[in-house]
Each structure stands twice: as structure tokens, then as C-alpha cells.
A = this chain, B = another copy of it.
Amino acid sequence: MAGPPARPLDQRIRDTLDRLEHDIDAWFATADPAGSSCLVPLSFLWDGHTLLISTAGTNPTARFLEATGTIRIALGHTRDVVLINAELRETIPTAEIPDEVGDAFTAKTGFDPREQRGGYPYFRLAPRQVQAWREVNELIGRDLMTDGRWLTGDATPGREAPDTRRAAVT
């Protein structure tokens, strides 16, 4: 039995924005300049354009992010994938976060960096590239954003070979 048909671009963008709005955690992958990788789950707040996270400034995620300026984010499950390449737009010391932003972050995540001992800065991450797919029939058309812009139905950017070849649900 075939799985559901591939979602069109506008549906994938709606589903992705819904996930950004409502998901509490995601996977965040960073790399140090020497080539080792870090991957951890973190809570985040989406404001319509950027993701806000917070982690100890001494942790690998914070150090690698500051060093490279880039991060790769995976939302959802391995069969309902949203992958985001983002850049570090701003590092905000805990003491400098506006009250309403800090409160919104805590209301969403249940975690208040302002109450942590030691430095837990906030990091504002701007997506530059977004992809979304569920099963193998959605690998084509998985690009939703390139160069920081959401695509429209007319765009057909070039594709590279998929990095994952999983079985379609049958």
C-alpha cells in the first residue's frame, strides 16, 4: 500500500511554521573549528523569524556556535523531518534580555536562564536554509527556504543527492 502523497511546497511550509511555533525542543548540531561535532536537545522559542535558545556559555554548543557562527537544527522525528541551517544573529547576555522576551522564553520552555547560576546567555538563530520531508517520496521538493527566503511555488532550485535513502512506508 502506498503512503500518503507528497505534500506540496505551501503545505510543507505551513506544517514547518506550525512545528516552529509549537514544538518545545529540537536537536541542535554544532561543530568546533577542529572538526568535532556536538549534538544536543534544547528548548527554543520561535518569534516568526528567528529561534531563541539558551545554554551555558561554557558548553560545547555555545562555544562552537560562537566560533563558527552556524548551527544545524532538526525538528520532529526521523520520519517527519525539518532540517534548518541557521546562523548566529546575536548573543544576548542574560542580564540584557528584555523582560518580555525572557518571560516568553520561560513560558514556552519551562526553563528560565535568568535563574541559573553561571552564565546562560541567549542565542538568536536565523534560518538560512530549511528542508522538510517525511518519507522518500518527499525528498524531491524538500527545499522550503534558501538564502534566508521562503520559496514560492514557482521556484525549483537544484537538488543534490539525498543524504538519506530510507524505505517508503508501504
Contact = CB atoms under 8 A, between A and B. Distances in A.
Interface of A: 24-27, 29-43, 54-56, 58-61, 64, 67-68, 70-74, 77-79, 81, 83, 109-111, 113, 116, 118, 120, 161-168
A161 B58 contact: yes
Given A77-B77, A78-B26, A161-B56, A68 B35 contact: yes
Contacts of A39: 27, 29, 39, 72-74, 83
Given A56-B163, A58-B161, A59-B162, 13 more contacts: A27-B27, A29-B38, A30-B37, A31-B35, A35-B64, A37-B71, A39-B72, A39-B73, A56-B165, A110-B166, A110-B168, A116-B165, A118-B161
Number of copies: 2
A59 B162 CA distance: 8
A109 B166 contact: yes
B71 A41 contact: no
Residue among A33, A39, A109, A111 with the highest chain B CB neighbour number at 10 A: A39
B67 A37 contact: no
B36 A81 contact: no
Contacts of A164: 40-43, 55
